[in-house]
Structure 1
Amino acid sequence: MGQQEVSNDKKYNKLIVALSIIIPLAVAALFGIRIDYELPVFLPPIYACINAVTALVLVLAFIAIRNKKVKLHKLLMTFAIVLSVLFLLMYIAYHMTSDSTKFGGDGITKYFYYFILLTHILMSIAVIPFVLITYVRAITNNIEKHKKIAKITFPLWFYVAITGVVVYIMISPYY
């Protein structure tokens, strides 16, 4: 590893660690704030669609890089990050202004829902540093390390995007 790579890693690592801690804590803190303004119920299907589009974009980016279309891959991955940030902002805004919807199913469906929800939440927190590290390794042209971590990041991020849609579909009858 060259001196420049070490310098870039150290510079970005502090930011990655900070964001990986600050984002989940900020989301948790913002959930504790209640704004007396109810956003329309149509917001959850919009951010569920954003999750679906994110999953699609991730697959397209994977296909692009497999076909050595690096510029397209970079564009799609940047778009996936923008979509994820947009999702997070809308999700926080909705939950700061609206009561949480309770799942009304029972039996095995209830356990499946809560399993998917719990793994979705945990993975959405865990994926933050992976996405940031993967992105930084790409923009700093540390391609070998980028490829290594992308093999972990892609399935985690894809799982979060897909399970976000599944959670919405399962909870939507109870809105």
Structure 2
Amino acid sequence: MGIAGYWGLFNELLMITSAVVVAFGWYFIRHKRIDVHRKFMLTGASLGAAFFVSYVLSTFTIGDTYFGGPKKYNAPYQVFLQFHVILATAAAVMGVITLRWALRARFNKHKKIAPWTATFWFVSALTGLAVFLMLFVIFPPGPTTKSLVQILVGH
């Protein structure tokens, strides 16, 4: 699979784990277990932040891997990828807002946006998994772009 694939797998595990933890947090708030909900949501947010940091680090140190599947699937893959990127960005921004409102005890605002945030997060995690599978499992990976490290040291 190569380092890009293994780091991608690590990133995907962080994101999926984050989504699963958020799902448990949602379950607990539905059952009025506020303290447990808070712990799960803070853990889910921390895993989401770890995913983001790891993803940025992998982009700068390894580079990005291009779609290596059949050419006839390239355009649909690109559309799907853009949908995922927009959704993931929206979920991340909504996550920061949702978390901020919760930490500031503005629960009326928090509980209005939180279900939407969690839903976006879940769909983003699933579409991210689909992107990973298309890049590294279903099809052979395409070329990986030069990383920032390679550019800076000239190799």
Into which bin does the TM-score normalised by the smaller protein fall?
A: 0.7 to 0.9
Is 2:7 aligned against 1:40?
Answer: no
Match of 1:57 among 8, 21, 27: 21
Partner of 1:100 in structure 2?
64
Gaps of 5+ in 2: 142-155
CA contact (8 A) 1:51 1:162 kept: no
TM-score for both structures, normalised by structure 1: 0.70
Gaps of 5+ in 1: 1-38
Once the 2 structures are TM-superposed, how far is the Cα of residue 49 of structure 1 from its aligned partner?
0.9
Identity of aligned residues (%): 26
Q: Equivalents in 2 of 1:160, 1:48: separation in Å?
A: 11
Amino acid at match of 1:40: I
Secondary structure of 1:93's aligned partner: helix
Partner of 1:88 in structure 2?
52
Amino acid at match of 1:95: T
TM-score for both structures, normalised by structure 2: 0.78
Encode CA deviations 1:87-124: one digit per residue, 9 max, x unaligned. 11111111112232221223664444323311111122
Encode CA deviations 1:25-55: one digit per residue, 9 max, x unaligned. xxxxxxxxxxxxxx93321111111111112
Root-mean-square deviation (Å): 2.0
Equivalences for residues 1-175 of structure 1 within 5 A: 40-41=3-4, 42-106=6-70, 109-173=73-137, 174-175=140-141
Once the 2 structures are TM-superposed, how far is the Cα of residue 132 of structure 1 from its aligned partner?
1.6
Amino acid at match of 1:98: I
